Amino acid sequence: MVPLLLGITFLSFLLMKATPGDPTQMFTDPTIGAKDLIQLKKNLGLDQPMLVQYLKWLQNVVQGNFGYSFVTGQPVMSMILDRLPATLLLSISSLCLTLIITLPMGLISAYKADGFWDHVITFTSFIGMALPTFWLGLMLMLLFSIGLNWMPSSGFLSPHLLTASFFQKSLDILHHMVLPLITLLIGSLAGLTRYYRFGVLHVLSQDYIKAARARGISEGKILYKHALKNAALPILTLLGLQLPELIGGAFVIEYLFAWPGMGKLGVDAVFARDYPVLMGTLVMSSVLILLGSLLADLAYQWADPRIQS
């Protein structure tokens, strides 16, 4: 994980520096002269070679110092920690709901292969895989927020509930989370359902399933005791591999719905050329993705003891 994280940060730093412009161009005050801008670049360390800047940044990060925002002057780590709960709430909720919905849908689709429900689930899965996330979010916003006025179009918590009780705040946050969550859920749900369907079909074709049926074991026991668990093993790995899509998709969704998470913080940092904040969000996102992959590998080993040998 450590070499991979170093590679991610170096490439991110390289791409960030390769983009046109620098943070000093964001200062539009006419009283700031050319000499002041040169001095500002020097104070921020932007006049040094890219490799030197990266090594200094890496040295500070190893010591737990992610620097300070060029725009607000606040510590980057405190800004990220303020936004991290909102991102984790959205991503983890999407991941859990994906798993809860995928297993029964894939099981039904495989058991009723080539039947009515299989065609319905397959058709909806292909539609979900084909829809661009940002377009789906805009359409949901247009329908449920602007058209029907059922859901808030943006934000995290209504301003008039800032002093409300914890229960009222929780309900309002869940109300704001519905549209972003559905947008994230549809894209991730479609692909996993197809994978799980193929996994169940493979398990149901095995000899031990045929032997269980020959012994008179009920179909329900075969499905839920044998097919459900054995076919779910590849899903554990796929869920870990889907974390980059969830967190990367959350960047777009958070900006689209003005959800105050790390994604929106990172996108705002791109437009503001706020390099320390941008690198901080990239590092934190990369750590979450790598940890997710590690947890998926550990869960796979726990679910299938044969891997331990």
User: Where do the structural domains in the chain lie, given as residue ranges?
Assistant: 2-62, 84-308
- At 33 the pLDDT is 67
pLDDT grade for 41, boundaries at 50, 70 and 90: confident
CA 228 to chain centre: 26
Return contacts of 43-52, CB within 8 angstroms, 24+ apart: 44/70, 46/22, 50/13, 50/14, 50/17
Please state, in angstroms and rounded to a whole number, the distance separating the CA atoms of residues 263 and 83: 9
Q: Does domain 84-308 have CATH number 1.10.10.10?
A: no
pLDDT grade for 16, boundaries at 50, 70 and 90: confident
Give first-to-last CA distance, the chain, whole Å: 23
pLDDT grade for 242, boundaries at 50, 70 and 90: low
Residues in the chain, how many?
Answer: 309
* Coil, strand or helix at 68: strand
% of the chain residues with pLDDT over 70:
87
237 pLDDT above the threshold of 80:
no
Residue in this structure with the two tokens 């993705």, named with its chain if needed: 289
- At 200 the pLDDT is 79
pLDDT tens track for 263-282: 888 888 888 888 889 888 88
- At 244 the pLDDT is 63
What does residue 300 show for φ and ψ, rounded to 5 degrees? -65, -40
Q: How far apart, in Å, are the Cα atoms of 259 and each of 26, 89, 274?
A: 24, 11, 19
Q: How far apart, in Å, are the Cα atoms of 24 and each of 222, 267, 273, 287, 288?
A: 66, 18, 9, 30, 31
Global confidence as pTM? 0.77
* Coil, strand or helix at 154: coil
Please state, in angstroms and rounded to a whole number, the distance separating the CA atoms of residues 252 and 270: 13
196 pLDDT above the threshold of 60:
yes
- At 193 the pLDDT is 80
pLDDT grade for 28, boundaries at 50, 70 and 90: low
pLDDT tens track for 204-214: 777 777 887 78
pLDDT grade for 172, boundaries at 50, 70 and 90: confident
- At 264 the pLDDT is 85
Q: What is the mean pLDDT of the chain?
A: 80
pLDDT grade for 2, boundaries at 50, 70 and 90: confident
pLDDT tens track for 78-121: 998 888 888 888 888 888 888 888 878 888 887 787 888 888 88
Q: What value does the mean pLDDT take over residues 251-266?
A: 84
Of these ranges, 13-22, 81-90, 290-299, the one predicted with the greatest mean pLDDT is 81-90
- At 306 the pLDDT is 62
- At 15 the pLDDT is 85
Q: Furthest-apart CA pair in the chain: how many Å? A: 88
User: Which element (helix H / strand E) includes 117?
Assistant: helix 116-130
User: Which of 6-15, 124-133, 188-197, 231-240 has the lowest average pLDDT?
Assistant: 231-240
27 pLDDT above the threshold of 70:
no
DSSP code at position 153 = S
